Structure 1
């Protein structure tokens, strides 16, 4: 799940990644080290996911010589900066660190993360949906294990759709467009969706449409927003915005957003599957009205999805307890600690969980007793393959907000122009950081 919603990281203040490679305490491919015997080991884990700590008691009971301390590193951006600083200083580097999927290349490519191949990690591949495994793989090597996941899905208010004369959830984006006009015809603050520059939503549209704007090969990065899939997705959402079918005043995660969800003014939200645990808290008055469906498709009969968020854990190359760290990593992402985290609300990409009757067969009262697990399991399996993020995406996403804000507040310009400006900034920054970007 996208557990951090802040969008700022002063990446310019970070020491360029390749300059830090020498401080990483060894090559990323270094083999197991530390924690292999019976001597006491203390692991430090940096995480903003509260479910990880739930797995500690069971792990320590089975491994009394390993003590685990889970430290909340704050927002993801704060954590990344602190990790870079610790690596540069050569001290205070934790043994396990939580990373959003797009942040893995930034640390993996210059050798700041341990290649987990030495631990036989390939044996775990079959228990993860393919897209999540791809997220933790850089240049053919696995640098982290998936811990939570955000397959894109459409959350829709059935009561609002019925009020607009719509009997079922839109199955295609063409149907979604027609539904948007009917919802808007209700008047007032009724819209089918809101958007004030949500980059992850736009990228999920592009992803699902077959666009692959980022191509990464080692330190070479190619950026292109003119391919067919990208152009199709951008043009569609531009049409929605141009025709006033999207609320551009209400920002996601704000109090106004909560109110709009509560009173049914927003008919749909296309977000990561993690919204199932967040929506009931934000819109309690809408209990029983919401349902979950796959993303609308670009062609009738297709079943293709995308991602919107997700996290993993990797072992810094400078960790002195890699073997013990991997033992705990495997425990809470794959082994005995997994069920504890799932019970605590974690949405994980493990097929053993997603395919289980316990996950798929449970009716969810908030969603009108719908068995939402089956929908989200399918959404996880149909994520389009081949998507990549540039290694400097953490910086890039903060810059996108600066570029998009004027468009959403004034209506002047276009998404296509924003993306081209974004590309230019990314090319300049990436080359300054030692990549070859075009």
Structure 2
């Protein structure tokens, strides 16, 4: 589940990672018991995903000795900071915590998360798309269970594209480039897309093109933005920007963004599959016009994708009731509580859901009765393998926004130069935090 790009976490408030390792307490920081007997247990779950609370009544009915309180401790970086503070203080540590996929290594590597291997989670692997399972696996161990997923997909306005003379969704990025020129020729605020420095979008392009700029092996991190796939993706998007085919004035999640989606002047949006749940409320006037397709491909006939967002839940190593926490974790991500979350709009990476007839055959009225589930299920299965985020990516993404902002406002410089600056800042910061980064 993606959040607004405006959300920032300054490096000054990040708790140094390895300074807290001793405070995390490993698996001995809290009892790995609770919920297995008749003694009453109260679980505290930190989550900004509203569908989790909906699974509580069913779980408590089946487990009357376990009471669950779901608390919104803040989205993303606010929650991570609060968790780090609780671990450092040695009190107030929740039993279960929501993490974006890229944040799992930050807490797992220094021992702040419990290894879920003791619960036999490897048996769950086959029920998750490979990309999501990889996202919760760090150095060969599983530290969280996937709860929602964001396979990248192309959301496109059929009415706007038809007006521009484009009869179908671009199947390749070359076709996308040609379509962009036709949309821009409509004049006014018509653009095929907007971008003001969304690092997740750029990385999804790189990911799909085969670039793997981050390589993590334990405490060692290698960063390189010059491999073939990365260079190809960056050069393509630089061309789109240089030719004035992208709206660089409108920021995602803003009122202007909503307006352009609503009036059709923004023809496409390449984002995670979770956009299906929020687009209808942001662009109600465009109901019936939007459709969903796989990302355009770099080569005609290929089927390779990427991911953009998604979340998981892990158990802090210092949690008091780990066994009970896992019971609830399994229930709402894999067991009986899964269906209620899907009904509430969660896009989950469970193959038992994605491959089901009910999911794939359901027509979505907003998207012109398109069976969007079938498209997004395929997008989830074709996500390219081998992608990694550095464990300090929470810090890194805010720094990228700071570096990219002048480029998008003045047009001076290039994406390649920004990425090089970003790499150097990441190397410096990572080494300061106790990693070996080059």
- TM bucket (normalised to shorter chain) is over 0.9
**TM-score, normalised via structure 1 length:** 0.98
Matches within 5 A, 1:251-400: 251-400=251-400
CA distance in 2, matches of 1:11, 1:235: 30
Change (3 A) 1:87 1:358: same
Are residues 1:123 and 2:123 paired?
yes
Tell me which stretches of 4 or more aligned residues in structure 1 moved more than 3 Å: 3-6, 27-32
Contact 1:28 1:111 (C-alpha < 8 Å) held by counterparts = no
By how many angstroms is 1:3 displaced?
4.5
Distance 1:28 1:423 in 2: 37
Cα deviation for residue 206 of structure 1 reads 0.1
Aligned twin of 1:232? 232
Aligned to 1:92: 92
User: What secondary structure does 2:26 align onto?
Assistant: coil
Contact 2:31/2:321 (<8 A) preserved: no
Worse-superposed segment, 7-16 or 422-431: 7-16
Cα distance in 1 between the residues matched to 2:2 and 2:357: 26
Alignment of 1:41-120 (within 5 A): 41-120=41-120
- How far apart in 2 are the matches of 1:259 and 1:40? 51
Deviation at 1:339, TM superposition (A): 0.2
Distance, in Å, in 1 between the alignment partners of 2:39 and 2:5 is 40
Q: C-alpha offsets along residues 265-319 of structure 1, whole Å, 9 cap, x if unaligned?
A: 0110000000001100000000000000000000000000000000000000001
The aligned residue for residue 174 of structure 1 is 174
Contact 2:5 2:198 in 1 (8 A): no
CA contact (8 A) 2:360 2:373 kept: yes
- Cα distance in 2 between the residues matched to 1:175 and 1:30: 55
- C-alpha displacement at 1:168, in angstroms? 0.5
Equivalent-residue separation in structure 2 for 1:347 and 1:316 (angstroms):
24
Tell me how far apart the structure 2 counterparts of residues 406 and 12 of structure 1 sit (CA, whole Å).
Answer: 22
Aligned to 2:10: 10
Question: Structure 1 unaligned runs (5+)?
Answer: none
Aligned to 1:312, the other structure's residue is in SS state strand
Aligned residues: 438
Is the CA contact 2:4–2:253 (under 8 Å) kept in the aligned structure 1?
no
* Equivalent position of 2:138 in the other structure: 138
Residue in 1 that maps onto 2:420? 420
Match of 1:158 in 2: 158
| CA–CA distance in structure 1, aligned partners of residues 320 and 159 of structure 2 | 56
Aligned counterparts of 1:189 and 1:364: Cα–Cα separation in 2: 28
How many angstroms does 1:12 deviate by? 3.0
2:222 partner SS: strand
Deviations 1:104-158 (A, max 9, x none): 0000000000000000000111100000000000000000000000000000000
> How far does residue 51 in structure 1 lie from its aligned partner after superposition?
0.3
Rounded Cα–Cα distance in structure 2 between residues aligned with 1:321 and 1:126: 27
* Structure 2: unaligned runs, 5 residues or longer: none
Q: CA RMSD in A?
A: 1.2
Deviation sequence 1:50-69 (CA, Å, 0-9, x none)? 00000000000000000000
Which whole-Å CA distance do the structure 1 matches of 2:291 and 2:62 have between them?
41
